[in-house]
Amino acid sequence: MSSVCLVERLKKGGYRITPQRQEIINCFGSGGKHYSAEEIHQEIKNKFPNVSLDTVYRNLNTMRELGIIEALNFEDGKCRYELAGENSHHHHLICIRCGMSEELDFCPLKFLDSSLLRDKKFTVERHSFELYGYCSSCTGSKREVK
């Protein structure tokens, strides 16, 4: 999804394209990293030294509500965000030593017998599946760093 398209979707949602919003969108433009709000804030401060962390959170939440981005939970106490493409559903490998995260092209829902859920009368809205361990650089020195 191009950043032009993101701007369109914000506008369609009735939101203004402020310089701060444009800059948040630019952050995502440059590839598949999984930034935390704090990291995005640091990045944006290069252009807008006075931008508040609240503005970052507020806009990330707005974009999440519009389905433009997704919030990821890597169980380290903070949210990370990534672009939500149309056909880009995926999960992650997360290194518990260096924090690296990588996308994984495997979704367990395909293998879950749906009769299991039907019996329980449970309606699935979303799911998590993340693998935690040591990436190629960190295997060998396996000591989890907090």
Partner DNA sequence: TGACTAATAAGAATTATTCCTATCTAAATA
Partner DNA sequence: TATTTAGATAGGAATAATTCTTATTAGTCA
What's the token pair of residue 50? Answer: 């006075």
Closest approach, Cβ 128 to a copy of itself, in A, equals 5
Phi, psi angle pair for 45, to nearest 5°? -60, -20
Q: Which 3 state secondary structure label does DSSP give 69?
A: strand
Q: Is residue 94 a contact residue for DNA (CB under 7 A)?
A: no
Question: In this chain, which stretch among 14-22, 37-45, 54-62, 119-127 interacts with a copy of itself, using CB under 8 A?
Answer: 119-127
Among 10, 37, 63, 96, which residue interacts with a copy of itself (rule: CB under 8 A)? 96
Among 47, 129, 141, 145, which residue interacts with a copy of itself (rule: CB under 8 A)? 129
Question: Within a 10 A sphere around the Cβ of 90, how many other Cβ atoms?
Answer: 15
Among 58, 89, 118, 142, which residue interacts with DNA (rule: CB under 7 A)? 58
Among 111, 114, 115, 146, which residue interacts with a copy of itself (rule: CB under 8 A)? 111
48-55 long-range contacts (CB < 8 A, ≥24 apart) are 48/19, 48/20, 48/23, 51/20, 51/23, 55/20
Among 14, 46, 86, 121, which residue interacts with a copy of itself (rule: CB under 8 A)? 121
Question: In this chain, which stretch among 74-82, 95-103, 104-112, 126-134 interacts with DNA, using CB under 7 A?
Answer: 74-82
What's the token pair of residue 41? Answer: 């804030």
Interface mask toward DNA for 8-37; x: CB under 7 A: -------xx-x-xx--------------xx
| Burial degree of 130 (CB within 10 A; 0-12, 13-18, 19+) | middle
